[in-house]
Amino acid sequence: MEVILLETIRNTGKLGQIAKVARGYARNYLIPYGKALPATAENRAFFEVQRAQLEQQAQERLAEAQKRAESFANVVLNITVQASPEGKLFGSVKASDIIDLLSKQGLNIKKNEIKLDKPIREIGQYTYELHFHSEVVLTLLVVVQPHQTV
């Protein structure tokens, strides 16, 4: 299915581009969330009329994402958890735990902005991507260390 992208979408295309995507992706995600329009002649004409406004909105969203990313620059998240002597955690560290710890530091992030493939189950250092915008991706270093008993 061909769609006109109303914003830049990672691995799909840029604002204004006509992209060929799977029908389900278009019907279930792109169109309902206002990220694309079906590529009909009527919608193409509508897009050309709205192009300047959409480009300005895209620039504003990009600037906002860059501003948010600046506050996350050089952030290292230290997490202290209970672990076995072998380094296995009693439980796991999930995306929600990372979000809670960041919010305690005054850094707000949504769950869909952090890409955590699987829960952390061992002591160590991990890097994860924070996606604030399709063009603004930042790396977050997470250090998981064992709880020291005295």
Average pLDDT in the 40-69 region? 91
The two tokens of residue 147 are 């709880």
Average pLDDT in the 55-68 region? 91
List phi, psi (to 5°) of 141. -95, 125
Q: Hey, what CATH class is 2-63 in?
A: alpha beta
Q: Which amino acid does the sequence have at 26? A: A
Residue 80 has pLDDT above 70, yes or no: yes
Residues 89/144, Cβ–Cβ less than 8 Å: yes
Beta strand residue intervals within 6-119, DSSP E: 18-20, 36-38, 76-81, 88-93, 114-115
Report the mean per-residue pLDDT for the chain. 89
Determine the pLDDT at residue 150.
Answer: 46
CATH number for the segment(s) 73-146: 3.10.430.100
The percentage of the chain sitting over the pLDDT mark of 70, rounded to a whole number, equals 98
Residue carrying structure tokens 């009909």: 40
Residue 149 has pLDDT above 60, yes or no: no
Task: Dump pLDDT digits (tens) for 1-34.
Answer: 999 999 888 889 998 899 999 999 999 999 999 9
Determine the pLDDT at residue 30.
Answer: 94
Radius of gyration of the chain (CA): 20
Spell out the SS3 assignment of 88-123: EEEEEECHHHHHHHHHHCCCCCCHHHEECCCCEEEC
**Cα 126 from Cα 118, distance rounded (Å):** 11
Determine the pLDDT at residue 11.
Answer: 87
Residues 17/35, Cβ–Cβ less than 8 Å: no
Residues 61/135, Cβ–Cβ less than 8 Å: no
Residues 99/106, Cβ–Cβ less than 8 Å: no
Domain boundaries, the chain: 2-63, 73-146
How much is the pTM?
Answer: 0.73
Determine the pLDDT at residue 24.
Answer: 95
Residues 6+ positions from 13 with CB-CB distance below 8 Å: 5, 19
